[in-house]
Copies of this chain bind each other. A is one copy, B any other.
Amino acid sequence: MDYRSLITSPTLLIDEKVCRANIQKMAEKAELHQLELIPHWKTAQSKKIGEWAREYGIRKITTSSIRQAAYLSNTGWDLIHIAFPFNIREIPRLNELARNQAISVQIVNPFTIQKLAEQVSTPIGFMIEIDAGYGRTGVHMSDFGKIDEILKIGKTSKNLSFLGFYIHPGHTYYKPDKELIYHETRQALAMLKTKYESEYPNLVTRIGDTPGCSVATDFGDIDQMGPGNFVFYDLMQADLGSCKKSDIAVALAVPIVDIVPERKEILVHGGGVHLAKDHLIEKDGKKNFGEIVFLKKDGWEIPEHISFVKSISQEHGLIQASDELLNQVQVGDLLGILPIHSCMTADAMGVYLSLSGEWIDHAEEKKFKV
């Protein structure tokens, strides 16, 4: 069965072999550094891909919303951590969810833990998110007053148990010196562990970001790693040096609807609602919304000469095509597009098609899209 025969409209392809190799490689790296790998499932958001991950010894995962956690609950995970500053409007849903699935949440302020202490009716773990310089979210690493207050309130409820400290050093996406960022992050986590482990001897520390986890060589005494994007990787990660383009495990299959050879342009059905609108900036200042691959019977092939999506609207993608590409396509053919940001593309598409023609689930199921 040729998977291409199933495709009439934009469809997100997954190469299971590449995906499994990414998981295996990170699992081996985690083992080498004596870390527990607890991947962030905001990227894959899939029960089936979760089954693959468990084959490599992964037992716990992370999500970025209670909705994703609900989708993945009771599918075999020892613990699902919701790594987003907890939203107190969702306490009733949390109570319901935690009745049948071990859950932990993320805390960044005393107000939230106070509400949880008052209203949580089932045992829940919590991690404190620490800001070690990224500046998006978390308690500043030296704000011991706030950390102590959170811990003190946590102790007032028998249903709340403190698990440890979580850092997402997202500045590895923007700054070149990832080793330096990791040095600072390691130091912050080591300092916190030293300070609090007499009172919480089982506390763990976790770091979670794909660029850092992919390239760092020194994790110090950090206990857990929580990257997400590595399961699929994408062109942004290739650009950051986290992976090679051949490590990218997903590609959007799109039908060609027009070809304009005199402008070297190919128009495809595949736009912002499919790929999302993340982009890279090429050296000449042009935006790149994704790069073209050839779809073959057993997978995709990266062409010698780059062709890329140079502009995008709601449903249209306009490709700047190489001669190599122009010479071998006609209207109605399919092309593949490697995404810039695979988490966003997978969320937009809501279902995957494997190269063996099997549909693979995603939390945002939109089967009618295909």
Using CB atoms and an 8 Å cutoff, list the residues of chain A in contact with chain B: 7-9, 42, 64-67, 71, 84-90, 92-93, 108-109, 111-112, 115, 136-137, 170, 255, 257-259, 267, 269, 272-273, 276-278, 311, 313-316, 318, 330-332, 343-344, 347-348, 364, 366, 368-369
Q: Please, could you name 8 A-B residue pairs with CB atoms under 8 Å apart, sorted by A? A: A8-B87, A65-B315, A67-B369, A115-B332, A136-B311, A137-B318, A170-B313, A276-B276
Q: How far is the CA of A49 from the CA of B269 in the complex (A)?
A: 26
Q: How far is the CA of A339 from the CA of B70 in the complex (A)?
A: 28
* Cβ–Cβ contact A65 & B9, under 8 A: yes
Specify the chain B residue showing the minimal Cβ separation from A85: B257
Q: How far is the CA of A366 from the CA of B85 in the complex (A)?
A: 23
Residue of B88, B111, B315, B344 near A84 (CB, 8 A) is B315
Q: How far is the CA of A65 from the CA of B258 in the complex (A)?
A: 15
Specify the chain B residue showing the minimal Cβ separation from A331: B111
Residue of B112, B255, B258 near A257 (CB, 8 A) is B112
Q: How far is the CA of A364 from the CA of B347 in the complex (A)?
A: 13
Query: If A85-B257, A257-B108 touch, does A90 touch B277 (CB 8 Å cutoff)?
Result: no
* Cβ–Cβ contact A314 & B344, under 8 A: yes
Residue of B66, B258, B276 near A272 (CB, 8 A) is B276
- List residues of chain B with CB within 8 A of the CB of A170: 313
Residue of B87, B273, B311 near A269 (CB, 8 A) is B87
Q: How far is the CA of A276 from the CA of B348 in the complex (A)?
A: 10
Specify the chain B residue showing the minimal Cβ separation from A366: B364
Query: If A344-B272, A344-B273 touch, does A88 touch B332 (CB 8 Å cutoff)?
Result: yes
- List residues of chain B with CB within 8 A of the CB of A259: 109
- List residues of chain B with CB within 8 A of the CB of A344: 272-273, 277, 314
* Cβ–Cβ contact B272 & A90, under 8 A: no
Q: How far is the CA of A272 from the CA of B368 in the complex (A)?
A: 22
* Cβ–Cβ contact A8 & B90, under 8 A: yes
* Cβ–Cβ contact A258 & B8, under 8 A: no
* Cβ–Cβ contact B255 & A89, under 8 A: yes
* Cβ–Cβ contact B368 & A84, under 8 A: no
Residue of B255, B278, B368 near A277 (CB, 8 A) is B278
- List residues of chain B with CB within 8 A of the CB of A87: 8-9, 255, 257, 269, 332
